[in-house]
Amino acid sequence: MTTDPTRRDPYAGFPGRIGRTFADSEPSWPPRTTPGEKAPNIVVVLVDDMGYSDIGPFGSEIATPTLDTLAEEGVRLSNYHTMPLCSPARAALLTGLNPHRVGYSMVANSDPGFPGYGMEIADDIPTLAELLHDTGYATYAVGKWHLVRDSASNAADDRENWPLNKGFDQYYGVLEGLTSLFHPHQLVRDNSPLDIDEFPDDYYYTDDITDQAISMVKSLRAHDPDKPFFLYLAHNAVHGPLQAKAEDIARHRGRYDEGWDVLRTRRFAAQLAAGLLPPGTELPDRNSEAGFDVPAWDSLTEEQQRLYARYMEVYAALVDNIDQNLARLTDTLEALGELDNTIIVFTSDNGGTGEGGLEGTRSYFSRFVHHPALPGDWTPDVDRDPGLIGGPRSLVHYPRGWGMASNTPFRLYKGHTYAGGVRVPFVLSWPRGAREGLLAPGVRTQYQYVTDIAPTLLGLAGLERPAERRGTPLQEPDGISFTPVLADPDHVSTHPEQYCEMTGNRSYYRDGHKLVTLHRPGTPYDDSEWALYDIRTDPTEIHDLAAERPDLVKELSEAWEAAARRNGVFPLPDGTGALARRNPAEQRLARPLTLLPGTPELERYRSSRLVSLRSFEITVVVDRTGEGVLVSHGDQGGGYSLYVEDGRLHLAYNEYGVLHETDAGPLAPGPHVIALAATAGKGLRWSFTVSVDGEVRATPPSVHQLIGMAPFQGISVGIDRKSPVSWPLFERHRSFRYTGTLRSVTYTPGAPGPDSPEAVAAALKQAAAAFE
């Protein structure tokens, strides 16, 4: 008998018996996949940009009673290291592989066209969620994802790298790296962006994602009393822009008036008292490296001190709120009888940040711009009523002096391979595990790395990582389980050496010694930039041993080169601007685009391709006049909108927080063609012209272009959704849906401006040709 491979025998492999009737047959059911009777639940709480000293168990004055309890009953890793930036850290945490191997050399906002920047987790690299799901776990993710490239975060994407295709049963949150905590720019549930016009006035994103997580757990227990779950709760807080609830800010009012120098000294003393650092550890001087330096608090004016203290009050409120929400989650687990057998991990993706600059900002997207030709009149801050700081109308970030304090006692910041960028708090709690001797509560000073988390959690759950999955051999992990370290405080580190690289900053750790660079972009990569520290006795990296130990510098630098080659680190960033490069296939996104009424909001990155660093024209066809917003693009951090109010046409332009209103005259009843033309000029400026039926109605003064991450909210037709471009208009009419008949809105992208990457590259090419 020949076997037809396209027609499987329906009875093959059935362990029961098949007769002609039910009476002649014996049934059998496939076994249910379960991870074991005592399999623990697993909760990973990942905070964004939190420094080493920002929670109570690591020296903070901020009240974090929930974390205090978890730390007291669990384990604190005081020598835990992560990656310097978020997407690479998240890839390493969820896969157990070094992030360059996974394709995350950088945050998921670039596409230079090399393997280390692929920003896609391959099928032979399973995530922790996939491995746990395969064994019978329910798997949930809420909050920040940032493992899908910005250009693939829209509703037309194949979603291959979205959470549900990486092992999670359910997801709720924001795919990108940051958002407004009062008006999230694009919430996604499972595989679908949500079409939201307005949020309630009391909406707060950190509360929302916690509500969603709690709901997922409650629903699971209502439907299945036994199934264990993995919850990945990834906060967008405390990433900028810093926004907190008024009642949380009020609790911290006045607490930071003494400044960052006093705060740093107090936190360091608390860390020493807690045994987090070896005896004899020194607190470094304030960061003094060019571009990262911090002034003495006492050198600031009283006005600066008052303003800067307000920023830190908002930051403290964010941390406070995270702990409050963690309490709500643990209370739910307690009420369900689940807390005892739940592993809870709390940590940060990278260290505290210096991106707020020397002075901080009330205009986050203006400060966040990275462009080689910023004009002299560019303003990285805007004036704001102090009462607005931290609220939905201000997008603030603290000065890097507070970032230095967040990273106490370490040097430098997020993005750096010095300790300030990579040493973060780490707490692990598991009451049942402690009772059964699987972890001994207390502090661990052993070096461990972010890639160790996945194998450790698998080990604690009694599971092994398979060699293959669904017939595909798996890539070997780089992380090593530290379960022996959890059980035995005297056990040696399970992770004896590790390379690191981020935007050219490099390091190599081996058995207590760390070779590290602070790389200046565009400068050569050579051995002269290496510094060497013995972090067993000098964890704050003060005493450079490179001159004394050239042999060890050579040995570790060669080890770094070998590891970089093996892990796909090359090519390294240089002065060519390659990180700004995009896939040529994206050029199709600069074609004219017509949006019809009822079109859901266009995603941020897709919207930006129509206007960023170029001239453009918007044509609005109205069949019947009415009141309301015709088109809007952006939010309180920057944007523009055309609207009709009291029969008059208006242009609102929000220049990174500074609102410009232009009255373009009456709009008579009947059909109209309204045009907004933007001409990109030198100095990163736009000149606008508003026309109605071919008649020029207004030519307001030129304004700075919205570039970088602005406008952050995408294009909406016939409404201004969520965070408004014009707050006064929002106060009068909320989202102000258009009441007339709108036929279409067409964007026609024009030529790149003189400061666009294309224009700069062309000029450099012409200059080079002149010398050939």
What is the C-alpha separation between 53 and 61, in angstroms, rounded? 9
The CA R_g of the chain, rounded to the nearest whole Å, is: 28
| DSSP, res 689 | E
Question: Are the beta carbons of 241 and 364 closer than 8 angstroms?
Answer: yes
Count other C-beta atoms under 10 Å from residue 448's C-beta: 24
Q: Residue 114: CB partners within 8 Å, gap ≥ 6?
A: 105, 571
Q: Residue 250: CB partners within 8 Å, gap ≥ 6?
A: none
**Two tokens at 269?**
């003393």
**β-pair type (472-473, 497-502):** unpaired
Name the residue among 568, 673, 677, 560 with its Cα closest to residue 618: 677
Question: Are the beta carbons of 121 and 129 closer than 8 angstroms?
Answer: no
What is the C-alpha separation between 210 and 635, in angstroms, rounded? 25
The b/e string for 372-386 (b: 16+ C-beta within 10 A; e otherwise) is eebeeeeebbbebee
What is the C-alpha separation between 100 and 438, in angstroms, rounded? 32
| Residue 163: cis peptide before it, omega within 30 degrees of 0 | no
**Two tokens at 275?**
């045994």
Annotated active-site positions, please? Answer: 86, 146
What is the C-alpha separation between 428 and 72, in angstroms, rounded? 10
Torsion sign across C-alpha atoms 454, 455, 460, 463: positive
Q: What is the 3-state secondary structure (H, E, C) of 437-503?
A: CCCCCEEECCCEEHHHHHHHHHHHCCCCCCCEECCEECCCCCCCCCHHHHHCCCCCCCCCEEEEEEC
| E strands present in 53-127 | 75-77, 80-81
